[in-house]
Amino acid sequence: MSFTKKKKIHSHNELITKTRNASLFQSNFKINKLQTQHIIRQSHERLTK
């Protein structure tokens, strides 16, 4: 009884950790994309001047 309960809690925590990591990865990806676009824009402005 208590063993299966513990296992359920453990898998639930694992799921939370996985989803948290996934959302962190997505937000980091968005930030990197924005930074890259900014750098491209800057270098483009430098070339056109």
Tens digits of per-residue pLDDT, 4-45?
A: 677 777 788 898 899 999 999 999 999 899 999 999 999 988
CB contact set of 22 (below 8 Å; sequence gap of 6+): none
pLDDT reported for residue 33: 93
| Pick from 5, 24, 6, 28: nearest CA to 16 | 24
Tell me the whole-structure pTM to 2 decimals: 0.51
pLDDT reported for residue 1: 53
pLDDT reported for residue 30: 92
Alpha helices in 1-49 (DSSP H): 2-48
